[in-house]
C-alpha cells in the first residue's frame, strides 16, 4: 500500500506499507507490517521501465537509511535504479521489536517463539512478496546488501535466486557452514589486532581506560537514562573499532571521561551520555537477541561469544592487567546490565538454547544460482572474517570479488558513491 510521497532535492520519495505473515509457513497465524521507502531521482521518476534495487541494511535489527539528500551510495544508485530501502521486519517503521512491544506477547516462551521469525529466511520471504507486488511476479530486481544485509542476500541466492537479476554485497559474505565458535575465535583475534592499532595511535588511552575500569569497579555509576555503566559495558565501546572513524569516536569520548566534582575526580556527565549513545542494544534489541542465532543452522548458539571468550585472557578485566576493548559480541550478562534488556532475559536464554534453527544456506543451490554477483571484501574487516567470505565466494559461480584494505567495514557509508560505482563496473565487466 502506497502511504505517501514527498520530494527532497533531486529525489522523489514514496512510503509503502506491506501486511505480511509473521510466520510464512503459517500465513493465517498472524500478521505484521513491513515498511519500505521507494527512492528515485526526480528526473527519472516517471520512467516506468527503471529497474529496481532493494537495499538490505546491516545489523541484525537496524532500520534502512533515512535519505536526506542525493548523496553517498544512493546518489550512484538512482542513476540506474529505482531504490527500495527496506525496513526489515522488527525495525524502523515496520512492526517494531522492543521491550515494550514484546511485553504484549506475555510469556518469555511466547516472545521467543515470535522472535524465531526475524532472521534472514523470514526477511527474504518478505522481500519476495514485496517484489511480486511492486515489480511483478515474472520480473526480477537487483539487491544491495551491507554487512548483515549481505547475509540476507546470500540466503536469497540460496533460497529464491529466481527473483534476483544481480546482487551487490559490501562486507557481507557470510560463513555458509555452521561454525559459530570459529566465527567468534576469528572475530576475537581481529578485535585484538584493532586494539593494538588503537593503543599504538593513542598510547595515553591505555592508562585512561584502566583508570575508568578501576573507577567503575569501585563505584555504582548510573547513566543519564537510568541504567548502570559497568566495566564490562564500558569494554563494549570497542564495537566501533572496526569502522574507518571508529578509533577517533572512541578516543574523543575517552578524553572527556573525568571532571573534578564535589568528591574529587569523577566520570563526567558528557562521557556517560556518550557511552549510553554509543551502544544501541536497548533501542535495537534484535541485535542482542538474534546476533548469535544468525549463524546457527540445526544447532544452538549457547552463548558462543561467552564460551569462546575464555580462550582469550587479553580481555580479562582484572585490576592491573592491560585493558582491551571487546567487539560486536553479545553476552548473557547484557540482559542484567542493560536496564531495558532485562525484561527480555528469559526469552534471550530460550533463543540461545534453541537447536532447531532452519538452514540458511544450501551450498548446492548457491552453486547453481545464475544471478550475477559482485562483492567487496575488506581485508581487515573486524566483523566479517575475510577467510570465511572467500570460502563462501568460492561456492558462487562467476562471482566478482573486490578485496581491498583501502576501506573498513563501513565503506558503503564512508565512500558509498565510489564503492557502489566500483561494484557496478565490476558487474558490467568494466573493471
Q: What is the pTM of this model?
A: 0.96
16: annotated active-site residue: no
What b-and-e string marks burial along 46-65, b requiring 16 or more CB atoms within 10 Å of the CB? eeeebebbbbbbbbbbbbbb
Query: Among the options 147, 158, 161, 324, which is catalytic?
Result: 147
Q: What three-state secondary structure class fits 179?
A: coil
CATH 3.40.50.2300 fits 2-176+361-428, yes or no: no
The catalytically annotated residue of 16, 117, 155, 409 is: 409
pLDDT band, very low/low/confident/very high, at 424 (cuts 50, 70, 90)? very high
Is a pLDDT exceeding 90 seen at residue 45? no
8 A C-beta contact, residue 67 and residue 36: no
Stretch 298-322: mean pLDDT: 95
The answer on pLDDT for 335 being more than 70 is yes
Question: 121-146 burial, b if ≥16 CB within 10 A, otherwise e?
Answer: bbbbbbbbbbbeebbeeeebbbbbbb
Domain chopping of the chain, boundaries: 2-176+361-428, 180-353
Mean pLDDT, residues 260-269: 93
Q: Which of 36, 55, 45 is nearest to 12 (CA)?
A: 45
Q: How many residues does the chain have?
A: 431
What does pLDDT average to over the chain? 96
Quick check: 323 pLDDT over 80? Answer: yes
Is 381 a residue of the active site?
Answer: yes
Banded model confidence at residue 50, pLDDT cuts 50, 70, 90 = very high
C-alpha 408/C-alpha 377 separation (Å) is 9
Tens of pLDDT, residues 276-295: 999 989 999 999 999 999 99
Distances (CA, A) of 224 to 209, 230, 344, 424: 21, 14, 21, 45
The Cβ of residue 162 has, within 10 Å, a number of other Cβ atoms equal to: 10
| Contact present, 152 and 177 (Cβ < 8 Å) | no
Q: What residues have CB less than 8 Å from 113, skipping those under 6 apart?
A: none
From 87, 121, 337, 381, the catalytic residue: 381
Annotated catalytic residue 251: no
**pLDDT tens digits, residue range 177-212?**
868 999 999 999 999 999 999 999 999 999 999 999
In angstroms, the first-to-last Cα distance of the chain is 40
Amino acid at each position: 500500500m502506497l502511504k505517501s510521497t514527498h520530494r527532497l532535492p533531486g529525489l522523489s520519495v514514496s512510503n509503502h506499507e506491506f501486511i505480511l505473515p509473521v510466520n510464512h509457513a503459517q500465513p493465517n497465524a498472524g500478521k505484521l507490517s513491513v515498511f519500505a521507502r521507494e527512492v528515485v531521482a526526480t528526473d527519472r521518476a516517471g520512467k516506468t521501465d527503471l529497474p529496481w534495487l532493494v537495499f538490505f541494511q546491516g545489523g541484525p535489527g537496524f532500520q534502512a537509511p533515512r535519505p536526506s539528500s542525493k548523496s553517498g551510495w544512493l546518489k550512484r544508485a538512482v542513476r540506474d535504479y529505482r531504490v527500495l530501502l527496506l525496513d526489515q521486519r522488527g525495525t524502523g517503521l515496520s512492526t517494531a521489536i522492543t521491550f515494550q512491544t514484546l511485553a504484549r506477547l506475555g510469556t518469555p516462551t511466547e516472545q521467543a517463539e515470535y522472535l524465531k521469525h526475524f532472521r534472514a529466511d523470514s526477511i527474504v520471504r518478505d522481500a519476495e512478496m514485496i517484489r511480486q507486488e511492486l515489480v511483478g511476479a515474472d520480473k526480477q530486481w537487483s539487491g544491495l546488501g551491507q554487512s548483515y544485509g549481505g547475509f540476507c542476500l546470500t540466503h536469497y541466492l540460496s533460497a529464491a535466486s529466481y527473483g534476483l537479476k544481480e546482487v551487490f554485497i559490501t562486507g557481507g559474505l557470510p560463513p555458509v557452514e555452521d561454525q559459530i565458535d570459529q566465527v567468534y575465535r576469528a572475530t576475537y583475534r581481529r578485535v585484538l589486532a584493532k586494539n593494538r592499532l588503537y593503543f599504538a595511535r593513542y598510547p595515553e588511552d591505555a592508562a585512561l581506560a584502566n583508570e575508568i575500569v578501576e573507577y567503575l569497579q569501585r563505584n555504582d555509576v548510573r547513566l543519564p537514562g537510568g541504567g548502570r555503566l559497568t566495566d564490562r559495558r564500558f569494554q563494549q565501546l570497542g564495537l566501533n573499532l572496526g569502522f574507518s572513524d571508529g578509533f577517533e569516536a572512541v578516543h574523543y569520548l575517552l578524553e572527556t571521561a573525568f571532571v573534578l566534582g564535589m568528591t574529587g575526580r569523577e566520570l563526567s556527565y558528557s562521557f556517560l551520555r556518550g557511552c549510553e549513545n554509543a551502544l544501541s542494544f536497548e533501542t535495537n534489541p534484535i541485535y542482542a537477541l538474534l546476533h548469535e542465532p544468525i549463524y546457527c543452522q540445526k544447532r544452538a548458539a549457547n552463548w558462543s561469544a561467552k564460551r569462546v571468550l575464555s580462550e582469550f585472557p587479553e580481555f580479562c578485566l582484572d585490576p592491573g592487567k592491560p585493558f582491551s576493548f571487546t567487539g560486536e559480541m553479545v553476552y548473557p550478562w547484557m540482559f542484567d546490565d542493560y536496564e531495558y534488556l532485562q525484561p527480555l532475559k528469559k526469552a534471550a536464554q530460550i533463543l540461545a538454547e534453541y537447536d532447531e534453527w532452519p538452514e540458511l544456506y544450501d551450498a548446492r543451490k548457491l552453486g547453481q544460482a545464475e544471478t550475477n554477483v559482485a562483492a567487496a571484501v575488506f581485508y581487515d574487516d573486524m566483523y566479517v572474517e575475510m577467510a570465511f567470505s572467500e570460502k563462501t565466494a568460492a561456492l558462487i559461480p562467476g562471482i566478482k570479488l573486490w578485496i581491498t584494505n583501502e576501506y573498513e567495514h563501513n565503506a558503503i557509508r564512508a565512500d558509498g558513491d565510489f564503492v557502489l560505482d566500483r561494484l557496478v563496473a565490476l558487474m558490467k565487466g568494466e573493471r
